[in-house]
Amino acid sequence: MIDIAHHTMRRSEKAITNPKELKRIIQSTQVCRLAFADHDVPYIIPMHFGMKENTLYFHCAHKGRKLDIIKRNPVVCFEIESDHHITNTGKPCNWSTRYASVIGYGTASLVDDPQQKKEALTIIVSHYAPGTVYEFQEKKIDEVAILKVVVTSMTGKKSGY
C-alpha cells in the first residue's frame, strides 16, 4: 500500500489527497523524472514508464550510471507532471502556472526473471498504447534491463483548476 503523504504542504489548498486523482495524473503523463542519490550528488533523468498498483517500471540498458547508483543506494525519488501551462499576465512577477504533479519515493531494483520482464514491458507499452497486445521476442527481453520502483509514498499538487 502506498502512503499518500499528508505532511504539511505550504499551500495546502493545492494538495491532492484522492488516490484516483493521483492515478489519473500518472496515467496521463508521458515522462517520469527519476532521481537518484549518487553519494552526495543528485542525479535525475527523464524516463518512459508504466505503473501497476504500487510499482513503477522503466526499461533501460544493462549498464549505466543509474544501475551503478542503485547498487549502493536503492532509494529514489520520482516526479510526474501533467496539464502544464504558463499564463503570461503581462506582469513578470505575476505569471501563473496551471499544473498537476505527483512526487514520490520508493525503492529501486532490477527485474531479472524473464517472465516478470515481459510483464513489465507489457505494462510500459500499455501506458502509451492501452489495449496493445505485443509478443516480445526472447532476444529483445535479454537485451533490455527492467528497473522497478516499489513506491512507498507520494504526494500530489495542482494549481489553476
List the CATH number of the domain containing 125.
2.30.110.10
pLDDT in tens, 49-100: 999 999 999 999 999 999 999 999 999 999 999 877 887 888 888 887 778 8
Q: What is the pLDDT of residue 97?
A: 79
Residue 76: closest CA among 41, 111, 37: 37
Tens-place pLDDT, residues 1-55: 555 554 555 556 668 888 898 999 999 999 999 999 999 999 999 999 999 999 9
In this prediction, residue 13 carries a pLDDT of: 63
Q: What is the pLDDT of residue 14?
A: 67
pLDDT at residue 94, rounded to an integer: 80
What predicted TM-score, i.e. pTM, was given to this entire model?
Answer: 0.87
d(Cα 40, Cα 123) in Å, to the nearest integer?
Answer: 33
- The total number of structural domains in the chain stands at 1
Predicted pLDDT of residue 19: 86
> For the stretch 146-157, what's the b/e string if a residue is b when 16 or more beta carbons lie within 10 angstroms of its beta carbon?
bbbbebeebbbb
Select the more confidently predicted residue: 136 or 42: 42
**Taking residues 96-124, what's their average pLDDT?**
93
Q: What is the mean pLDDT of residues 99-119?
A: 94
pLDDT of residue 5: 53
Range of the domain at 112: 3-159
Bridge partner residues of 143 (DSSP): none
How far is Cα 61 from Cα 49, in angstroms, rounded to an integer? 14
* The predicted structure's pLDDT at residue 12: 65
Assess contact for 123 and 57: CB atoms under 8 A: yes
pLDDT at residue 157, as a whole number: 87
Quick check: helix, strand or coil at residue 49? coil
Q: What are the φ/ψ torsions at residue 67 (nearest 5 degrees)? A: -70, -35
SS3 24: helix
CB 76 within 8 A of CB 106: yes
